[in-house]
Structure 1
Amino acid sequence: MSDLPTIEELIASGALFVASHSGGKDSQAMLIQLLERVPAEQLLVIHASLGESEWEGALEHAQAQATAAGLPFLVAHAVKTFLGMVEHRYAVRPGPNSSCWPSASNRQCTSDLKRGPIEREVRRYVKSHGFTTVVSCMGMRAAESPARAKRLVLQPNLRNTIRGRDWWEWLPIHEMTTAEVWRTIADAGQSPHPAYLAGNQRLSCVFCILASPRDLANGARHRPELFDRYREIERRTGYTMHQSRKSLDELVAIGEAQLCALAEAA
């Protein structure tokens, strides 16, 4: 699109830049980069709380970075929980081949637990503070997946653009490699969420439908009671949570072997 504004033009227009911060490494590196480019008075940090499905300390980690930079920080809460959503989908499923878990093609967890609550809080903030242009900033990177590699770095958010309010979506670190993300955090004198130091590759839900076996095994180590609840739903419903269609027991066994190999190599 040739009529897209530049980031410099959006900054000059007084746009509000909203950094969605999961507590993960990409969000952390993104906020470091944003602070070097966007005036602090035009920045807002928001965290979508995932409740019991979230890694402990993720919210606090995001808040600490925002507070240290003197930025406003909001928490968006969904009206439902991940497991509650899964149980409801099982109860109303149209047939035996309809899984109760979200999928890569139908990520209800993202829309209902993250995107929707975040946009609701941002609309409230924009209205009360008089902003007319919003730039939603997300830490998605091309290196994460083929689908994310195809994402446009800047595009209009037509769902939230209305008369008197323009809304854009921007991926500030889309071209960053994983090594560059870690270097950005280290160069800023910051530390990542402790889950990474324990072996995690990504920080999302403790048990994510797209997680690596290593991340799932690490989650099972730290949240065994939550792991048992996910396993019970798998066994009772007959549907596996993970997109690989392997059971959590299988994936955690694979991940445990990887974590042990990682510890031996350290």
Structure 2
Amino acid sequence: MTQPPLFVTADTLDPFVFDRAIIGLSGGKDSIACLLHLFEIGYPKERIECWHHDVDGREAPAFMDWPCTRDYCRKLCEALDIPLYFSWRQGGFEREMLRENQLTAPVLFETPDGIGQAGGVRGEPNTRRKFPQQAASLSTRYCSSSLKIDVCSTAIANQPRFEKKRTLLVTGERAEESRARAGYAIAEHHKTSNGKREVWQWRPVHGWTEQQVWDIMEKYRINPHPAYHLGWGRASCMTCIFGSPSQWASVYQIAPQRVIKIHAYEQDFDCTLRRDGDIMKAVNRGTPYDMDPHYVQLALSEEYTDPILVEDWKLPKGAFGESCGPT
């Protein structure tokens, strides 16, 4: 296989030497900014595709994520005329959390030719029976690794269409978000690179400020995810383990059954989701956001019905607010 040109290094990367760009699309502002940045620099649209890793899977109702996220991503890609492929670990977050003396479940992933499946047959059975914990370590905070990062790698490694090709995996981590993310490389060889395929991970907005992210969203008139309109500073999971007390109080106000279920699991596991006590203590310490009923209904629906492209673009309520999320 031809090696990439010498100017593809950890510090500088030319996206135009790659055959395809995969955008890891969470539905949040930073991943959308990555997609829009490729538009800005003139990267060929026909080489772009978006991937959304569905943390709750498809086999059960939403447990951790916003119910609207899947359809928001779908409508966004339809509006921008970009193909979107979903991937997930069978059973999603809840099955992985409840795993007891079992193998990790297989990964399913959409492709241009249908749904593929891989994994779930090797390794040693083991047990989780607890929530991922608030930590930078991906082995401790296993939700990111097991339900997003590893799902993505499995989907790349098990599609022959990436063999003998150069593929660019584009993700939206920004240095401003945390000390850990500040240390990430802007570009690096991805772990799926081998003799069969060349894959690089690129973080084009790593050095951007939040203002720059909102500026490009405004330029393209992209209506942000409903979570931002409700007051969240980041659109990670609805019940993200890094949520602030006020975010937990807000979730309890609009979807109390979610919090009650999580609290029941804490008691069952004898292990709390947060390091500072059970989830109800966080709820009681927080102050719910002042949430517009329209966006509450939209966020809790599995169908996203608002326009994606808006003429009267306004900065959402959560902009520059509490940005609790993965570190």
Q: How does 1:109-120 map to 2 (within 5 A)?
A: 109-120=143-154
Q: How does 1:214-253 map to 2 (within 5 A)?
A: 214-242=246-274, 244-253=275-284
1:72-92 CA distances to partner (integer Å, 9 max, x unpaired)?
110002123222222226999
Instruction: Using structure 2 for the length normalisation, give the TM-score.
Output: 0.70
1:73 to 65, 78, 84: 84
Instruction: Using structure 1 for the length normalisation, give the TM-score.
Output: 0.84
* Matched-pair contact (CA < 8 Å) for 1:133–1:167: yes
Pair 16,85 (structure 1): closer, same or farther in 2 beyond 3 Å: same
1:134: which partner in 2? 167
1:172: which partner in 2? 204
Question: Which amino acid in the other structure matches residue 256 of structure 1?
Answer: T
1:31 to 31, 35, 52: 35
1:157-211 CA distances to partner (integer Å, 9 max, x unpaired)?
1x20111311111111111112222222122111111111111121222211222
Question: Which amino acid in the other structure matches residue 112 of structure 1?
Answer: S
Where does structure 2 lack aligned partners over 5 or more consecutive residues? 1-5, 57-61, 103-124, 292-316, 319-327
1:15: which partner in 2? 19
CA shift, 1:254, in A, is 2.9
- Does residue 1:45 correspond to 2:50, yes or no? yes
Q: Alignment length, in residue pairs? A: 254
1:153: which partner in 2? 186
1:101: which partner in 2? 131
Q: How does 1:54-73 map to 2 (within 5 A)?
A: 54-73=65-84
Q: Distance in 1 between matches of 2:173 and 2:18?
A: 24
Identity within the alignment, %: 24
Pair 118,223 (structure 1): closer, same or farther in 2 beyond 3 Å: farther
Q: Distance in 2 between matches of 1:3 and 1:176?
A: 21
2:225: which partner in 1? 193
Deviates more, 1:221-230 or 1:115-124: 115-124
Question: Which amino acid in the other structure matches residue 255 of structure 1?
Answer: G
Pair 260,210 (structure 1): closer, same or farther in 2 beyond 3 Å: same
Deviates more, 1:19-28 or 1:216-225: 216-225
CA shift, 1:121, in A, is 2.7
* Matched-pair contact (CA < 8 Å) for 2:99–2:129: no
Q: Distance in 1 between matches of 2:100 and 2:250?
A: 27
1:202: which partner in 2? 234
CA shift, 1:69, in A, is 2.0
* Matched-pair contact (CA < 8 Å) for 2:49–2:84: yes
* Matched-pair contact (CA < 8 Å) for 1:240–1:248: yes
* Matched-pair contact (CA < 8 Å) for 1:16–1:131: no
CA shift, 1:23, in A, is 0.9
Aligned-CA RMSD value: 2.9
Q: Distance in 2 between matches of 1:254 and 1:163?
A: 53
